[in-house]
Homo-oligomer: A and B are copies of this chain.
Amino acid sequence: MSKHELRGIFTPNLVPLDNRGQINEAELRRYVDWLIDRGVHGLYPNGSTGEFTRFQPEERRRIIKIVCEQVGGRVPVLAGAAEANVAETIRACEVYHEYGARAVAIVSPFYYRLSPESVYTYFHEIAQHSPIDVTLYNIPMFASPIDVPTLRRLAEHPRIVGIKDSSGDVAFMGRMINAVRPVRPDFRFLTGWEAVLVPMLIMGADGGTNATSGIVPELTRNLYELTQARRIDEAVKLQLRLIELFDTMLYSADFPEGFRAAVDLRGFDFGRGRQPLSEAQQVDRAALQRVLHCIIADFGVMDGPCEGCAVRTGNLEHDKIEQVTRAVLAEIQERGIRVN
Q: List the interface of chain A (C-beta within 8 A of B).
A: 21, 48, 53-57, 84-88, 109-115, 117-118, 120-122, 125, 141-143, 149, 152, 168-171, 174-175, 177-179, 193, 195-196, 198-199, 202-204, 230, 232-233, 236, 239-240, 243-244, 247, 254-255, 274-278, 280-281, 314-315
A19 to B169, CA, bound (A): 41
Q: Which residues of B contact A55 (CB under 8 A)?
A: 84-85
B111 A53 Cβ-Cβ under 8 A = yes
When the two chains form their complex, are residues B109 and A314 in contact, meaning their CB atoms are under 8 A apart? no
Contact present for A175 and B112 (CB under 8 Å): no
Asked if B240 and A178 make an inter-chain contact with CB atoms under 8 angstroms apart, the answer reads yes
**Closest partner residue, chain B, to A204 (CB atom):** B236
Whether B111 contacts A243 by the Cβ 8 Å rule is no
In the bound complex, residues from chain B placing their C-beta under 8 Å from that of A255 are 112
**How many copies altogether?**
4
Given known contacts A118-B278, A121-B277, what 18 new A-B pairs fall within 8 Å (CB)? A55-B84, A56-B57, A57-B57, A86-B276, A111-B142, A112-B255, A113-B141, A113-B142, A118-B277, A121-B276, A121-B278, A168-B169, A171-B196, A174-B239, A174-B240, A175-B247, A199-B199, A203-B236
Q: CB within 8 A of A117: which of B87, B120, B174, B281?
A: B281
| Secondary structure dominating the interface of A | helix
Q: Does A149 contact B196, Cβ atoms closer than 8 Å?
A: no
Contact of A54 among B84, B125, B274 (CB under 8 A): B84
Tell me, rounded to whole Å, the shortest Cβ–Cβ distance linking A230 to chain B.
6
User: Could you jot down 13 A-B contacts, CB within 8 Å?
Assistant: A53-B84, A53-B111, A86-B274, A86-B276, A111-B142, A114-B254, A118-B277, A171-B193, A175-B243, A178-B240, A178-B243, A202-B232, A202-B236
- By a CB distance below 8 angstroms, the chain B residues around A84 are 53-56
**Is A110's CB under 8 angstroms from B111's CB?**
yes
Measured in the bound complex, the distance between the Cα atoms of B110 and A202 in whole Å is 34
Min CB–CB distance A92 → chain B (angstroms): 12
Neighbouring B residues of A175 by C-beta, 8 Å: 243, 247
Return chain B residues, CB-CB under 8 Å to A280.
Answer: 117
Residues of B within 8 A of A196 (CB): 170-171, 174, 199, 203
A113 to chain B, nearest CB (A): 7
Please tell me which one of the listed residues B53, B109, B169, B199 contacts residue A202 in the complex, with CB atoms under 8 A apart: B199
A304 to chain B, nearest CB (A): 20
Set of chain B residues within 8 Å of A113, measured between Cβ atoms: 141-142
Q: Tell whether A125 pairs with B276 under 8 Å between CB atoms, given A255-B112, A281-B118.
A: yes
CA distance A302 to B255 in the complex (A): 49
